[in-house]
Amino acid sequence: MQLKKDSSGRYLCTFIPGDGVGPECMESAKRIIEAAGVKIAFEVFDAGESVFKKGIPSGVPQETIDSVNRTRLVFKGPLGTPIGYGEKSANVTLRKLFETYANIRPVRELPGVKTPYSGRKLDLVVVRENVEDLYAGIEHMQTPGVAQCLKLISAKGSEKIARLAYEFARSEGRKSVACATKSNIMKMTEGTLKRTCERVGKEYKDIDSWHVIIDNCAHQLVKKPEQFDVIVTTNMNGDIISDLTSALIGGLGFAPSANLGNEVAIFEAVHGSAPKYAGKNCINPTAVIMSGVLMLRHIGELEAAKKIENAVLVTLENAAREGRGTGDVIGYDNPKVYSTSAYTDAIIANLGKKSENFFARDYKPLVMPVVDRNPEFVKAKSLRTIGADIFVHSTLMPGDLGPSVERLLEGSPLKLKMISNRGTKVYPPTGAITDNVDQYRCRCMLRTGAEKGGNAELADRDLLTAIEKIGAKHRWVHIEKLQEIDGEPGFTKAQGED
């Protein structure tokens, strides 16, 4: 990322105040950054709830997009998505528009923030892929009662997030990277990240690499979280376990995040806009302040970042000694609660001081990985279509649907191999007990030459003819070609399929 500066040498940064408590938290962080001596020219623009209400479906107006393209650096408050307005989350829109493919979510034990894990010195980072997976948001109603969401995991996306995880570990002097996936079930999608991390990890001999199934990762995070240093995972998995990790150290009020790309970086707290607390000068701004610390590290202001982090630690340590704290820690009705502004003043007063028992980590500049931008990231030596999955909307039972499809495909280059319902083979019958829904997958294969290593390939005209034949009697809703890639099947089998 190329940093942009104005004529007076100040960093340019798009500043989005956010919704609800966002403006208060952002003003707190801005005051502290300026007090630490970092000169940033903030361009203030809107996104989120107020923009949705103006009728802009994305929640991000063009002038904000133009500012981000100018500055390449974004510091933002939490954004709301009101019911009845907009289409997608403005947060997700910003991440995807600017390919901020890595979401960094650090958590560490903080002084005076009591949890069941206090004293265990938790200090870990979740590195979450940020633009792919189910968050691509590609959904369809295949029948009135069956919805589909496409889970897209690319080799290129996996390469970028894997390399970023190892580089981030190096920048913070961390010793291990755990790749957390559900590759035991989703061997092609989640398996892509697992295989990529295993290959990339061999290049980082100074870092210990290991794999953990994501559900076991969640289990281990509750049981023994101190075993983790850096966890790299897919988008949906990362969304879930990063919220889990923030709970280990006191909640979302202490959970900062960075969204990193090669062109743009966006820094924000993990928490939402909390509208019921807006304007009351009572919200805990730590997550936003520490997101600002992540931003300062990213632009190379390492000393200022360390100074602010130390000041936060000292403030929390002093508060604990005095019985004070933010409302989410000691209660909003506690007479010793910090207001947002008083907490900010205390941190500014503590700039230059260091905690007695908690220390800011030493950091090195993060090296962003450079990955080939060619869309064809993986080049296959051979690629052929050997069949197709034709999904149909039918109220028939499998014993009636199967023979019907077989008759319709008579004389066609394709034959019906099997029918599945929600991933389980139901025709020919296996004896399994299934509660069928009205969406079936009809797996149709070439009658001859479809064996591994063969030369025959399904022609589009023959596939279209088969679809037309099946469609004459059954409503088809979705087609997937069955590819053989470098001699190996590019598709999985149904439960019970031979």
Q: What is the pLDDT averaged over residues 3-26?
A: 94
Q: How far apart are CA 302 and CA 173, in angstroms?
A: 14
pLDDT attached to residue 279: 94
Q: What is the mean pLDDT of the chain?
A: 94
**E strand intervals along 192-309:** 208-213, 230-233, 256-260, 265-269
* C-alpha neighbours within 13 Å on the C-beta side of residue 379: 3
Q: What is the pLDDT averaged over residues 289-310?
A: 97
Domains of the chain as residue ranges with CATH = 383-489 (3.30.70.1570)
pLDDT attached to residue 246: 96
Q: How far apart are CA 27 and CA 437, in angstroms?
A: 53
Single-letter code of the amino acid located at 158: S
pLDDT attached to residue 55: 87
Ranges 78-92, 251-265, 421-435: which has the least confidence: 78-92
The yes-or-no verdict on residue 454 having pLDDT over 80 is no
Q: How far apart are CA 384 and CA 422, in angstroms?
A: 26
The yes-or-no verdict on residue 302 having pLDDT over 70 is yes
pLDDT attached to residue 258: 97
Q: How far apart are CA 31 and CA 301, in angstroms?
A: 16
Q: Report CA torsion sign: 251, 354, 74, 129.
A: negative
Do the beta carbons of residue 171 and residue 191 sit within 8 Å? no
Q: Report CA torsion sign: 139, 143, 147, 151.
A: negative
* C-alpha neighbours within 13 Å on the C-beta side of residue 185: 7
The order of strands in the sheet holding 414-421 is: 424-427, 414-421, 439-446, 383-393, 475-485, 488-489
Q: How far apart are CA 224 and CA 216, in angstroms?
A: 11
What is the radius of gyration, based on Cα positions, of the chain? 26
pLDDT attached to residue 96: 86
Confidence of residue 366 (pLDDT cuts 50, 70, 90): very high
pLDDT attached to residue 57: 87
Percent of the chain with pLDDT over 70: 98
* C-alpha neighbours within 13 Å on the C-beta side of residue 402: 13
pLDDT attached to residue 53: 86
> For the segment 274-296, what is each residue's pLDDT rounded down to a tens digit?
999 999 999 999 999 999 999 99
Q: How far apart are CA 43 and CA 64, in angstroms?
A: 9
> For the segment 43-55, what is each residue's pLDDT rounded down to a tens digit?
999 999 889 888 8
pTM equals: 0.94
In terms of Cα–Cα distance, which of 70, 110, 433, 155 is closest to 289? Answer: 110
Distance of CA 235 to the CA centre of its chain: 3
Distance of CA 322 to the CA centre of its chain: 39
The yes-or-no verdict on residue 41 having pLDDT over 90 is yes
Q: Where are the alpha helices (DSSP H) in 338-459?
A: 340-349, 398-408
> For the segment 460-470, what is each residue's pLDDT rounded down to a tens digit?
999 999 999 99
Confidence of residue 73 (pLDDT cuts 50, 70, 90): very high
pLDDT attached to residue 2: 78
pLDDT attached to residue 229: 98
Q: What is the pLDDT averaged over residues 182-197?
A: 98
Overall residue count recorded for the chain in this entry: 498
- What is the number of other CB atoms lying within 10 angstroms of the CB of residue 465? 16
Burial (Cβ within 10 Å: 0-12, 13-18, ≥19) of residue 462: middle
The yes-or-no verdict on residue 391 having pLDDT over 60 is yes
Phi, psi (rounded to 5 degrees) for 245: -65, -35
pLDDT attached to residue 293: 97
pLDDT attached to residue 450: 65
Do the beta carbons of residue 193 and residue 158 sit within 8 Å? yes
The yes-or-no verdict on residue 123 having pLDDT over 80 is yes
